[in-house]
Amino acid sequence: MSSIPASLGTWIDGIAGTHVPVDDRGLQYGDGLFETILVRDGTARFLAAHLGRLARGCARLGIPYDDDALRADVARALAKAPPLAILKLVVTRGSAARRGYAPQPGAPRRLVTLHATGDTRSMTAGVTLGIARTRAATHPALAGLKHLNRLDNVLAAAEIAAGDHDVLMLDVADRIVSGSSCNVFLARDGRLATPKLDSSGVSGVLRGIVQREAPKLGLVVQERALSLADLATADEVLVTNARIGVVPVSRVGEHAFRSFELALRLRGHIEALDA
Amino acid sequence: MSSIPASLGTWIDGIAGTHVPVDDRGLQYGDGLFETILVRDGTARFLAAHLGRLARGCARLGIPYDDDALRADVARALAKAPPLAILKLVVTRGSAARRGYAPQPGAPRRLVTLHATGDTRSMTAGVTLGIARTRAATHPALAGLKHLNRLDNVLAAAEIAAGDHDVLMLDVADRIVSGSSCNVFLARDGRLATPKLDSSGVSGVLRGIVQREAPKLGLVVQERALSLADLATADEVLVTNARIGVVPVSRVGEHAFRSFELALRLRGHIEALDA
């Protein structure tokens, strides 16, 4: 069996271990959810928001959510965490009692992995994005969830050119959805807009933190349909995720952006928040 | 660790085993494909068609396809198979060298499970289907593939009412896609039509066998967009998959169907084919 490279620890239902049963429905059908949490100086950043999204996802999929067990998982991993790390929580519907898509009553399974990660301070100089040919999947009932069906993100990420941070993904109607592993905000005339994620994409925890915090800095944030035409006329583009925080974008495809002002203001404010 | 119920054998990369590493990308992202093959009297039915679809899926996802290894997997499982069984082959992109969606060079992983199954002769009396509220995901680059991102099928299958065989799934544009675990054909005036699967759904092996064999019985089969209005005016509805073969449908939602003629002709013809 292969090793788990670059992992600092893996726990399955709270017990150190590296392997899961083949019949796990997360593996067989992608029947589960996950969270990717930044650990900084012994704290799981924005833990309440991460667990809140996981709980909502479990409710939507009909998977029992065990807050106490997940908080114990997090505490167990934090005890082993270096000053900067990524904590990945996966909750699957567990092992199938029999073959077939229909869910059956049973115990979900929790998979927790602690990963090393590097710091992202150099990203304040701006990152570049390509534009993916792979479209984001359209599925209203799954939109917003951080579920395990991520083949569209995988195929898009395979398109990331050397030197680029990520690729921008559109849906089949040519609306901007997100990067393959980040959410996107456009700024124009001091106002922020981010794609409405009612049919595609993942509703990122940092996206939600930006929506919550921006008004405290006097910034308006709208959720709406955004196109490449909106991108072309933006003053500034920002990407967000739990690992990188808020990061300014210097180029998307052929479009260059010179202003990093709102990105760096939001980044500074959010970095300074107690988790 | 839980057992693997109702499984007659599980092999991982050709070796008997029941667990896979947590970092398998099939589990982390649904980054893989599968086949569900009927085994009858020591033969894997329509094996060439199943492996052909798997090879095309691997090519589309950029996962190396190893025909020799998969044929050896099948032979190994057949040696243990009862007269009627289901052989499930899963190919994932294997373990991740590091965290993140972007695929990295590495060895894919083959997961093979042999399952008991019952015979489907009683289905010739007709099965009933509901109509799912859950829509089929739209994703042109993944349409037709039997990939591991099956949450839409899982949520639809959760809607199957007691006594019904399956639910019919529509896409967000109200086009018929398939059942949660079968393909669908409508017949009218002696002609067959099945949904074009260019943006959603799985291109089933039995669907392909029907398309190949129907002309030999003098039947025309079209691939085109189909709606519930087409269903309402159909003379006959047929569902297909590798396990059940061709099965007549007696009711979909409120619509009853009395003719089973084409379904039973096709079923008889296809059942009698050498695999």
Which percentage of chain A shows pLDDT scores above 70?
98
Distance CA B63, CA A274 (A): 43
Two structure tokens written together for B165: 């065989």
Tell me the Cα Rg of chain B.
19
Average pLDDT for B234-238: 98
Residue type at B265 in one-letter notation: R
Restricting to B residues 181-200, those with a Cβ less than 8 Å away from any Cβ of A are 181, 199
Alpha helices (runs of H) in chain B, residue ranges in sequence order: 25-29, 47-61, 67-78, 151-157, 205-213, 228-232, 261-271
pLDDT tier for residue A2 given thresholds of 50, 70 and 90: very low
Report the pLDDT value the prediction gives residue A63, as an integer from 0 to 100: 98
For the stretch B240-264, pLDDT in tens is 999 999 999 999 999 999 999 999 9
Report the pLDDT value the prediction gives residue B6, as an integer from 0 to 100: 62
pLDDT of A166 above 50 = yes
pLDDT tier for residue A5 given thresholds of 50, 70 and 90: very low
For the stretch A243-258, pLDDT in tens is 999 999 999 999 999 9
Which percentage of chain B shows pLDDT scores above 90?
94
Domains of chain B as residue ranges with CATH: 7-118 (3.30.470.10), 122-271 (3.20.10.10)
Contact call for residues A109 and A148 (beta carbons, < 8 A): no
Average pLDDT for A254-268: 97
pLDDT tier for residue B98 given thresholds of 50, 70 and 90: confident
- Its ipTM equals 0.95
Q: Which of A88, A149, A181, A243 is the best residue to mutate to test the B interface, defined by the most B CB atoms within 10 Å of its own CB?
A: A149
Restricting to B residues 40-59, those with a Cβ less than 8 Å away from any Cβ of A are none
Contact call for residues A111 and A20 (beta carbons, < 8 A): yes
Q: Do residue B148 and residue A150 have CB atoms under 8 angstroms apart?
A: no
For the stretch A177-228, pLDDT in tens is 999 999 999 999 999 999 999 999 999 999 999 999 999 999 999 999 999 9
C-alpha dihedral over A25, A166, A197, B150, to 10 degrees? -20
Residue of B nearest to A34 (CA): B28
Specify the residue for token string 């991108």. A231
pLDDT of B93 above 90 = yes
For the stretch A69-92, pLDDT in tens is 999 999 999 999 999 999 999 999
Strands B43-44 and B236-241, sheet pairing = unpaired
Distances (CA, A) of B152 to A102, B167, B267: 11, 12, 28
Measure the N-to-C terminal CA separation of chain A; round to a whole number of Å: 37
pLDDT tier for residue A99 given thresholds of 50, 70 and 90: confident
Q: Is B199 left (phi over 0), alpha (psi -120 to 50) or beta?
A: alpha
Report the pLDDT value the prediction gives residue B1, as an integer from 0 to 100: 35
pLDDT of B4 above 50 = no
Q: Is A267 left (phi over 0), alpha (psi -120 to 50) or beta?
A: alpha
Contact call for residues A86 and A36 (beta carbons, < 8 A): yes
Two structure tokens written together for A199: 């049919």
pLDDT of B214 above 50 = yes
Which percentage of chain B shows pLDDT scores above 70?
98
Average pLDDT for A225-238: 98
Picking from B219, B187, B184, the residue whose alpha carbon sits closest to that of residue B201 is: B184
Contact call for residues A58 and A65 (beta carbons, < 8 A): yes
Q: Do residue A19 and residue B23 have CB atoms under 8 angstroms apart?
A: no
What would you measure as the largest C-alpha separation in chain B, in angstroms? Answer: 57
How far does B24 lie from chain A, in Å, by closest CA? 8
CA atoms within 13 A on the CB side of A241: 20
pLDDT tier for residue B97 given thresholds of 50, 70 and 90: confident
Average pLDDT for B173-198: 97
pLDDT of B25 above 50 = yes
Contact call for residues B32 and B25 (beta carbons, < 8 A): yes
How high does pLDDT run on average in chain A? 96
Q: Do residue A101 and residue B142 have CB atoms under 8 angstroms apart?
A: no
Query: Measured between CB atoms, does A120 come within 8 Å of chain B?
Result: no
Query: Measured between CB atoms, does A241 come within 8 Å of chain B?
Result: no
Contact call for residues B201 and B150 (beta carbons, < 8 A): no
Average pLDDT for B102-110: 94
- Annotate chain A with three-state secondary structure: CCCCCCEEEEEECCEECCEEECCEHHHHHCCEEEEEEEEECCEECCHHHHHHHHHHHHHHHCCCCCHHHHHHHHHHHHCCCCCEEEEEEEEECCECCCCCCCCCCCCCEEEEEEEECCCCHHHHHCEEEEECCCCCCECCCCCECCECCCHHHHHHHCCCCCCCCEEEEECCCCCEEEECCCEEEEEECCEEEEECCCCCCECCHHHHHHHHHHHHHCCCEEEECCCHHHHHCCCEEEEEECCCEEEEEEEECCEECCCCHHHHHHHHHHHCCCC
Report the pLDDT value the prediction gives residue A6, as an integer from 0 to 100: 63
Tell me the β-bridge partners of B110: B91
For the stretch B60-82, pLDDT in tens is 999 999 999 999 999 999 999 99
Query: Measured between CB atoms, does B142 come within 8 Å of chain A?
Result: yes
Q: Residue B58: helix, strand or coil by DSSP?
A: helix
Picking from B213, B133, B227, the residue whose alpha carbon sits closest to that of residue B184 is: B227
CB-based contacts of B55: which residues, under 8 Å, 6+ apart? B65, B67
Average pLDDT for B109-126: 95
